[in-house]
Structures are given as structure tokens and as C-alpha cells.
Amino acid sequence: TRPFTVLGIESSCDDTGAAVVRSDGVILGEALASQGDIHEQWGGVVPGLARDAHEDAIDRIVDLAVERAGFSSIQEIDAIGVTIGPGLEICLRVGATKARELAQTFQKPFVGVHHLEAHILMARLPLEEASPSTATTNNFVFPATDLVHETVRTMQFPFLALLVSGGHCQIMKCLDIGKYSIIGGTLDDSLGEAYDKVARLLGLPVGGGGGPAVEALAKQGDPTAVPLPIPLRNRKDCDFSFAGLKTAVRRAAEKICDTEMDGNLEDLLTDQDKANIAASFQNVAIKHIEQRLERAMKMVEQEEQEQGGSKIRSLAVVGGVAANQELRARLETLCERCSSSQDNDDDEEDRWKMFVPPPRLCTDQGSMSAWAAIERIMVGSTDDPTSRDVYARYP
């Protein structure tokens, strides 16, 4: 069958994204308007301002993506997908309304995309940009022209996924499109939120997410300088918690400044103190992720020994925080470690393999909506464009 093209739109939070993606995984054109500057002064996303910014940007971003893809009209595109939840309701509505209008005007098949499924499915997107020589951490990276080979296509179901974003922190068993079972979630904050809160504490830029600034600063610091507790280390499940760690970071910062005053810690800390705090926080946060994930991986192996069923040895790492280089490197090492503890570690089938989208496709953008729609269309699942529903919460 001939490849088809999908226009994807994303407006669930503070990024207005659009992209045209082809069903063989080639991203033909994309455009993104981020609202970092708008929310910076408020220290977080202000929904009303976000909606206004989406409304200002949506037409231009869609036109730009279509134009960059080399199309002169949406008529030439085969289908339309858009995030319909979870997210900020008034923001979701901007993208959803635009996409539904386009689908009806141009009489195109329509898919309402689940944002978390879209993050996860990005780990299955075959990419054209990287050459096989760069495929060290990314088994699916190869020229898209090789796509005809089913064996190298992408990560296959079933697989395990770690979803770490601003809104979520979960471990899931991914069985098929639309079929996921959650085996661990967060008891309080997400990992992205923890990064954002530490960024705020250290006076780093938080508009559009504080994670990249914390990651950059951590590179200058000593990850063992500030002692912090690893959350839930004795709990025998796969859940996460970051609220205690965030408080411990604040306490540690106050101790360094010898003050218990609220507020302006950022002025009292030296640059080296801040770097050490950032590095120590990141180190412990990732240790927590490693511990929970290792438990999940062992659980999956055990279940399979007891109950049989198809083997899971693929780990997808997705969501905004998956852009973090330290997290990527450490989880790659975790996969190696878990593989070598196997009895028959020569057996390729028993080795854990990590699949992670390139950093710019980990955070929110239009390609994720387009690719998720493609995956849904390929299993024959589309939606009614005349519905007006969006879902702030979307199980």
C-alpha cells in the first residue's frame, strides 16, 4: 500500500505544534510555537494566557507545517489527528476545534489522539534523520528508505514504557495500540514537575519547563555534594514519589545558606552551590527512577517465567524528561545491567533494549499527534470529527 500523510496538531499545554508525517515515519514538515516567554514571569503555565497564545498561533503554525511539508493545500493530505486529552481543557479545545473543522471542510478521516499514547508511540517512530552509525542508543534509528524490511521496522508490541513528562510519571506495560496497563504511577509530583520546582528554587528559567536549565547546571556540579534521600527505596512496588525529594532539596539549600527564611535562596547560594544542588537532585531523582524501573523489569521477567506469554525485553523511555541526556545514559546502562544478569546472556532475545525518541521529539510537538494518528489509522481506528469533546482527564 502507498504511504499516506497525516497532519497532526498538539495544543494540550503551552506548545502549539503542527506537523505532517508520512505513514512510513518520515516527518515531512513541522512547526512549533512555544510559550516559554509568556509564562516565565508567572513561574508556571497560566491557562488563560496559554489559550490566547494557542489561538494567536494555531492558523500560522498549521499553514507553516503544511507548507514546509511541500503541500499547497490540506486537500493534498490524507488525514488529520489532534490531541484531545489529557491536558488543559481550554487549550485542548483550540487545537481540537481547528482539526475538526479541517477534517470536515476537507472531508478527511479524523483521529482524536490520547496525549500519553502519543508520547509512548513516538518510541515506535522510524526515523530518517540518523545514519545507522549513530544508532548506538536507539535501535530503531536507520534511514527511512530501509523501512521495507519488516525486521528493522520499529519496536514491536508488547513493551515496557517509562513515561516521564510534566504531567505524568508512569511505568506501563504496552500491549497494543489502545491497550496499556499501568504498573506504577506517582503518589504526588511528576518527574518533570520536580525538575521545574528545583529550577524555580535555584532561580533558573522555568518558562517552557525548567528541566533543561537544571540539566545544564548539573553538568557543572558534584552529584554527591548534597546528601538527599532516595524516595520509596524500600517499597516493594513500582510507584514514584518526588514531593519528599523536593522538600529535601529545599532543606539542603537552606542549610547551605544557614537560613530558614522562605524565598530568595537563589540570592544566597553561590553558583557552585546551585550546581551541586542541581547535580545532587538529578542524581537521586534518576536513582529513584532506576530502582523502580529495575523492579518493573524484574517483575515482567518473573511473570513471564510463571505464566508464559510473549516476552517483553524492550523499554520505551518517553515524555519531556526523556530528552535528558543523563537519564538516557543511565537507563541505557540499566538495560545492559539487567541483560547481563540473565543466565544465558548470549541470547540476543533476552537482552533489554532501550528505545527513546530523539530529544526534540520527546517534548510536546505536532509530530506526536500525527504519528499516533497514523498508528491508529493503520489498525483501522478513526473518530467522528463532529464530536466536540475534549478531555482534561483522560484515563
Residues interacting with ligand KG4, by CB under 6 A? Answer: 13, 165-167, 192, 195-196, 209-212, 215, 319-321, 323-324, 363-364
- DSSP string across 33-54: EE-HHHHHTTTS--HHHHHHHH
Distances (CA, A) of 72 to 32, 69, 75, 77: 19, 9, 8, 10
Residue nearest to Zn ion (CB): 364
> 124 or 313: whose CB is closer to ligand KG4?
124
Give the start-end residues of each E strand in the chain: 5-10, 15-22, 27-34, 79-85, 110-114, 159-164, 169-176, 179-184, 314-318, 353-355
> 11 or 382: whose CB is closer to ligand KG4?
11
Neighbours of 379 (CB within 10 A): 10
> 189 or 364: whose CB is closer to Zn ion?
364
Neighbours of 224 (CB within 10 A): 11
> 155 or 285: whose CB is closer to ligand KG4?
285
> 77 or 213: whose CB is closer to ligand KG4?
213
> 154 or 165: whose CB is closer to ligand KG4?
165
Torsional class of 364: left (φ above 0), alpha (ψ -120 to 50), beta (otherwise): beta
> 332 or 364: whose CB is closer to Zn ion?
364
Residues of the shown chain interacting with Zn ion in the complex, contacts defined by CB under 5 A: 165, 364
- Which does residue 209 touch among ligand KG4, Zn ion, none (CB within 5 to 8 A, set by kind)? ligand KG4
Which helix (H) or strand (E) covers residue 60, if one does?
A: helix 47-68
Q: Which residue has the cell 483501522?
A: 380
Amino acid at 276: N
Minimal distance, residue 59 CB to ligand KG4, in Å? 22
Minimal distance, residue 282 CB to ligand KG4, in Å? 8
Minimal distance, residue 283 CB to ligand KG4, in Å? 13
Minimal distance, residue 362 CB to Zn ion, in Å? 9
Q: Before 358, cis peptide (omega within 30)? A: no
Q: Please state, in angstroms and rounded to a whole number, the distance separating the CA atoms of residues 314 and 161.
A: 8
Minimal distance, residue 209 CB to Zn ion, in Å? 10
Minimal distance, residue 99 CB to ligand KG4, in Å? 18
> 23 or 363: whose CB is closer to ligand KG4?
363
- Which does residue 366 touch among Zn ion, ligand KG4, none (CB within 5 to 8 A, set by kind)? none
129-150 core/surface letters (b: 16 or more CB in 10 A; e: else): eeeeeeeebbebbbebeebeee
Minimal distance, residue 168 CB to ligand KG4, in Å? 7
Q: Please state, in angstroms and rounded to a whole number, the distance separating the CA atoms of residues 130 and 139.
A: 11
- Which grid coordinates are listed for 214? 537544571
- Which does residue 211 touch among Zn ion, ligand KG4, none (CB within 5 to 8 A, set by kind)? ligand KG4
- Which does residue 321 touch among ligand KG4, Zn ion, none (CB within 5 to 8 A, set by kind)? ligand KG4
- Which does residue 324 touch among Zn ion, ligand KG4, none (CB within 5 to 8 A, set by kind)? ligand KG4
Q: Please state, in angstroms and rounded to a whole number, the distance separating the CA atoms of residues 386 and 395.
A: 22
- Which does residue 192 touch among Zn ion, ligand KG4, none (CB within 5 to 8 A, set by kind)? ligand KG4
Q: Please state, in angstroms and rounded to a whole number, the distance separating the CA atoms of residues 328 and 321.
A: 9
> 109 or 167: whose CB is closer to ligand KG4?
167
Minimal distance, residue 20 CB to ligand KG4, in Å? 20
- Which grid coordinates are listed for 345? 546472556
Minimal distance, residue 166 CB to Zn ion, in Å? 7
- Which does residue 210 touch among Zn ion, ligand KG4, none (CB within 5 to 8 A, set by kind)? ligand KG4
> 5 or 186: whose CB is closer to ligand KG4?
186
Q: 206 phi and psi, to 5 degrees? A: -115, -10
Q: Measuring CA to CA, which residue among 312, 336, 323 is closest to residue 363?
A: 323
3-state secondary structure of 31: strand
Minimal distance, residue 186 CB to Zn ion, in Å? 15
- Which does residue 323 touch among Zn ion, ligand KG4, none (CB within 5 to 8 A, set by kind)? ligand KG4
